[in-house]
Amino acid sequence: MEKTPAPCPCGGYPTGTPYTDCCEPALTMQEWPPTAQQLMRSRYTAHVRGDADHLFRTWHPATRPANTDPEPGNEWTGLTVEAVTAGSVQDDDGVVEYTAYYVSQDGEPDELHEIARFVRRARRWMYVGPADVV
């Protein structure tokens, strides 16, 4: 009996899609995410996997901080996409509202809620920051 692969840490896009078919192509630089939502999902998965390189290369240079390393000690436990505005393959900007759940270094459950802005740069989606960032 063949084992069904576990869904991607981001929950899979579409729901339940395994890591190999969801975020792995983005994290291994085989394919750039075609939509803002898929880029956001790959960034969440990069936090889960501790992939600082993916976080760095997908953060717009105009707003990227010096250190893009994932927060050490957090255990990311789930992602809910609340809303998506634009950000499709035809758009040049988009907004994704999401909540990422985690257990902090102190063992306390917590969440990060963000309305995130994305723009295309050189035909690739890039994370800008919270939607109020210019």
CATH code for the domain of 67: 3.10.450.50
Is the pTM for the entire model greater than 0.75? yes
| Residue 1 placed within a domain | no
* Euclidean distance between CA atoms 42 and 23, whole angstroms: 5
Residue whose structure tokens are 């800008």: 128
Q: What pLDDT is stored for residue 3 in this prediction? A: 73
**Tens place of pLDDT for every residue, the chain, 134 residues?**
667 788 899 999 999 999 999 999 999 999 999 999 999 999 999 999 999 999 999 999 999 999 999 988 999 999 999 999 999 999 999 999 999 999 999 999 999 999 999 999 999 999 999 987 55
Number of domains present in the structure of the chain: 1
Q: What pLDDT is stored for residue 133 in this prediction? A: 58
| Residue 72 placed within a domain | yes
Full residue range of the structural domain in which residue 25 is found: 19-130
| Residue 41 placed within a domain | yes
* Euclidean distance between CA atoms 11 and 15, whole angstroms: 6
Tokens of 47: 């936090």
| Residue 55 placed within a domain | yes
| Residue 52 placed within a domain | yes
Per the CB < 8 A criterion, the answer to whether 121 and 58 are in contact is: no
Per the CB < 8 A criterion, the answer to whether 92 and 119 are in contact is: yes
| Residue 119 placed within a domain | yes
| Residue 57 placed within a domain | yes
Q: What pLDDT is stored for residue 15 in this prediction? A: 93
| Residue 14 placed within a domain | no
Q: State the CB neighbour count (10 A cutoff) for residue 28.
A: 11
* Euclidean distance between CA atoms 105 and 35, whole angstroms: 32
| 116: DSSP letter | E
* Euclidean distance between CA atoms 9 and 66, whole angstroms: 26
